[in-house]
């Protein structure tokens, strides 16, 4: 980049040959245009682009949830960029690559979470969820659980925030009618009171059930 002010070009704007002129912070700036622009479309590059596009479309739907979990704990990248990178690398199977919802990660924090989770479809798009609270910490037992369900065919997300207390052990949520016939994947958001982030208990998001015949939407 160069700042340009001379008798020939003066305060030049737009393009002149291979140079592009513009103004930045009240200064004339010159940038060189590339002589060639390459847009490789090899099979490997196209596979990578498709994986990236699929992941971005998926993660964008739960962006607020991911940002809430990570807070400002990542100094060098955004939470969405981190999760996108993890899933592009690890969440695809086969050739051509297909998103494997059993490998999708929404947050890589480890901590207190529920156990023995089941997910089953019921009439009128109802999805029944059961779990073991898996804790004796009073604050965790009374903390509210949130659920994220993904349609494993369309990759559409449905977010259910603060549904029931962790010690309840069961809940029912309803997904869109357009999901009928699709398998679903369940991610459970819990709160770990033994860890803190930004002076608040840490949020844990883990894949817990689904991607099987029982998770089919009816």
Q: Are residues 91 and 10 in the same domain?
A: no
pLDDT confidence bin for 104, thresholds 50/70/90? very high
Q: Are residues 92 and 125 in the same domain?
A: yes
In whole angstroms, give the CA distance from residue 161 to residue 205: 12
R_g of the chain computed on alpha carbons: 24
pTM, 2 dp: 0.80
Q: Are residues 93 and 159 in the same domain?
A: yes
Q: Say what the pLDDT of residue 46 is.
A: 82
Query: For 206-214, what is the mean pLDDT?
Result: 98
* Residue 159: pLDDT over 90: yes
| 11 falls within a domain | yes
Closest by CA to 56, choosing from 102, 96, 91, is: 91
Q: Are residues 49 and 151 in the same domain?
A: yes
Q: Say what the pLDDT of residue 31 is.
A: 73
Low-confidence winner among 41-45, 149-153, 179-183, 213-217 (lowest mean pLDDT): 41-45
Backbone angles phi, psi at 62, to 5 degrees: -120, 25
In whole angstroms, give the CA distance from residue 41 to residue 147: 38
| 167 falls within a domain | yes
* pLDDT tens sequence across 51-78: 999 999 999 999 999 999 999 899 889 9
Q: Which residue did the predictor score with more confidence, 88 or 28?
A: 88
| 38 falls within a domain | no
Q: Are residues 121 and 191 in the same domain?
A: yes
- The number of beta carbons lying within 10 Å of the beta carbon of residue 184 is 26
* pLDDT tens sequence across 22-32: 765 556 667 77
Q: Say what the pLDDT of residue 35 is.
A: 64
Query: For 3-17, what is the mean pLDDT?
Result: 54
Q: Say what the pLDDT of residue 82 is.
A: 96
In whole angstroms, give the CA distance from residue 6 to residue 116: 73
| 37 falls within a domain | no
Give how many domains the chain has, as a whole number: 2
Q: Are residues 13 and 121 in the same domain?
A: no
Structural domain harbouring 185:
44-215
Q: Are residues 118 and 166 in the same domain?
A: yes
Q: Are residues 114 and 167 in the same domain?
A: yes
| 161 falls within a domain | yes
Q: Are residues 24 and 110 in the same domain?
A: no
Q: Are residues 171 and 91 in the same domain?
A: yes
pLDDT confidence bin for 36, thresholds 50/70/90? low
Residue 166 belongs to a domain with what CATH number?
2.60.40.10
Q: Say what the pLDDT of residue 32 is.
A: 73
List CB contacts of 90: < 8 A, sequence separation 6 or more: 103, 105
Work out the percent of the chain whose per-residue pLDDT is above 90.
Answer: 75
* Residue 6: pLDDT over 70: no
What HEC string does 197-215 produce? Answer: ECCEEEEEEEEEEECCHHH
């Amino acid at each position: 980049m160069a700042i340009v002010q001379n008798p020939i070009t003066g305060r030049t704007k737009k393009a002149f040959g291979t140079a592009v002129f513009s103004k930045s912070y009240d200064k004339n700036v010159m940038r060189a245009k590339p002589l060639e622009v390459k847009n490789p479309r090899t099979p490997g590059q196209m596979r990578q682009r498709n994986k990236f596009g699929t992941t971005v479309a998926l993660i964008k739907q739960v962006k607020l949830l991911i940002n809430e979990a990570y807070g400002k704990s990542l100094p060098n990248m955004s939470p969405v960029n981190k999760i996108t990178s993890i899933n592009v690398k690890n969440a695809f199977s086969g050739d051509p690559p297909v998103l494997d919802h059993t490998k999708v990660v929404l947050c890589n924090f480890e901590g207190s979470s529920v156990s023995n989770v089941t997910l089953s479809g019921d009439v009128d798009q109802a999805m029944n969820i059961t779990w073991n609270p898996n804790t004796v910490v009073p604050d965790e037992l009374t903390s509210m659980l949130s659920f994220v369900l993904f349609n494993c065919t369309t990759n559409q997300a449905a977010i259910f925030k603060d549904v029931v207390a962790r010690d309840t052990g069961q809940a029912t949520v309803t997904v869109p009618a357009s999901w009928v016939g699709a398998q679903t994947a369940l991610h459970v958001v819990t709160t770990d009171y033994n860890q803190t982030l930004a002076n608040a208990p840490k949020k844990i998001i883990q894949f817990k059930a689904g991607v099987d015949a029982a998770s089919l939407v009816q």
